[in-house]
Amino acid sequence: MSVKLQPVRGTHDILPEESRKRRLIENMLAMVCTTYGYGEISTPVFEFSEVFLRTLGDTSDVVTKETYTFEDRGGESITLRPEFTAAVVRAFISNGLQEKLPFKVYYNGPAFRYERPQKGRLRQFHQFGAELLGEPDPIGDIELIGMAVHGLVVLGLAEHVKLELNSLGDSESRKAYRDALVAYFTQHQASLSEESRARLERNPLRILDSKDEGDRALLAGAPLMHDHFTENAKAYFKKVMAGLDAIDIQYEINPRIVRGLDYYSHTVFEFTTDKLGAQGTVLAGGRYDGLVKMMGGHDIAGVGFAAGIERLLALMEAVQVEGLNRDVKPLAVMPIDEAQEMAALRMAQELRVAGFVIELLTHGNMGKKMKRADKLGAVAVLMLGENEVAQGKVMVKHMSDGSQHEVEYAQLQEHLLTIKV
């Protein structure tokens, strides 16, 4: 019996070459977050469905069409995480951490959405993100956006993205705005897409996010959120902007940014690029002050962001970030005959323990081994023949200039450190 050998649509295997690059991205971002006092959190890949279904909102795309939800053998409804924020907040509450504020964590791992697979849109993708709980002041938004920018700088992407910023105001502003939107779109109901007509009743704000051309044309004349802000919402947004100015972060106000999920308030932002086609948002986030309470915790403010690792990597490749393709070049160790195999093995082991990257080549004649060393990009070839082993020496060939050096085994490591690549 044979099994289906292709991976499920929208998923892919991450092979060593890609893993190396992803590890680079993840390590650099983790390092940046550490600088801001964030620690790492890992939550389970699945949760009780209500963790996501109740928080993301009944009308969000994620909940209506994208979750992987199933009943487990015990009859529980389980959902693979489509995002991390709700899971992190669940963990924050269930681990009794609400008295220890602020709570600052970053995370990194797979997320799952049943979407139509296309370039930059996968069914299993990976997010790196951060959450800050317990800082209701705009200072939290500013520091968090500063951290995101810092991460993008370290990845070499800062000049290739733009920060688009918006505010959704507080709940009072949103209610007033909602009413204004409903009035406007009800007037133009006939021209709305079917999807947006459904949104009109359930969550009119989402129409602003519509990708339908007809809807977008209507949006030009739609009322603006900012005209419905309370004094509090205005002051909040003003301080966020002043803070970003203070740390020299450039942004564009984009009133169309509403984010897909229900739990956002005040600040929302996206870092976008025009170099990845339609899937141009590499990092996105916002403030979600009502979420902890909505999930049964205290009234604790939150703000966070998530970046798609695949999109960050695709952008780094598209703009050819320096250093991304740099791999550690090995040294090749080769016995000339089978008789020197054990000696070569021993040398390879000792050098690896000392921190050198070694490829041990034992198959084929010398010509074949040399070709293989070349292919591996070896910096030098360390040859062991009968004479070398008898005399405690190694023949070292530098690949850059072809020069050969007979080196005492005791001096070998010192010699290797002087080789020019």
Which range of residues in 173-181, 182-190, 304-312, 353-361 is near ligand ATP by CB under 6 A? 304-312
Which range of residues in 307-315, 353-361, 377-385, 399-407 is near ligand ATP by CB under 6 A? 307-315
In SS3 terms, 299-324 reads as CCCEEEEEEEHHHHHHHHHHCCCCCC
- Please name the residue that has the structure tokens 């020069």: 403
Query: Which residue number has the CB closest to ligand ATP?
Result: 308
One residue of 49, 67, 79, 127 binding ligand ATP per CB under 6 A: 127
Copy the structure tokens of residue 291. 């979420």
Q: Judged by CB under 6 A, does residue 60 bind ligand ATP?
A: no
C-alpha gyration radius of the chain: 28
Site residues for ligand ATP, 64-123, by CB under 6 A, read 83, 113, 115, 121-122
Contact (Cβ atoms closer than 8 angstroms) between residue 128 and residue 108: yes
- Residue 216 burial (C-beta neighbours within 10 Å; 0-12, 13-18, 19+): middle
Q: Are strands 124-133 and 302-308 parallel, antiparallel or unpaired?
A: antiparallel
Of 206 and 369, nearer to ligand ATP (C-beta) is 206
Which strands sit side by side in the sheet containing 404-408, from one edge to the other? 358-360, 331-335, 380-384, 393-398, 404-408
Spatial CA neighbour of 176 closest among 107, 224, 115? 224
One residue of 51, 244, 301, 306 binding ligand ATP per CB under 6 A: 306
One residue of 173, 265, 281, 340 binding ligand ATP per CB under 6 A: 281
One residue of 282, 316, 358, 373 binding ligand ATP per CB under 6 A: 282
Q: Judged by CB under 6 A, does residue 303 bind ligand ATP?
A: no
Q: Judged by CB under 6 A, does residue 131 bind ligand ATP?
A: no
CB of 313 to ligand ATP, least distance (A): 11
CB of 155 to ligand ATP, least distance (A): 13
CB of 34 to ligand ATP, least distance (A): 21
Size of site (CB under 6 A) for ligand ATP: 18
Q: Judged by CB under 6 A, does residue 249 bind ligand ATP?
A: no
Q: Judged by CB under 6 A, does residue 260 bind ligand ATP?
A: yes
Of 141 and 310, nearer to ligand ATP (C-beta) is 310
The string of DSSP codes covering 184-238 is HHHHTGGGS-HHHHHHHHH-GGGGGG---HHHHHHHTTSPPGGGG--HHHHHHHH
Q: Are strands 302-308 and 103-112 parallel, antiparallel or unpaired?
A: unpaired
Copy the structure tokens of residue 4. 């289906």
Distance, in Å, from the CA atom of 248 to the CA atom of 371, rounded to the nearest integer, reads 52
- Contact residues toward ligand ATP (CB under 6 A) are 83, 113, 115, 121-122, 125, 127, 260, 279, 281-284, 306-308, 310-311
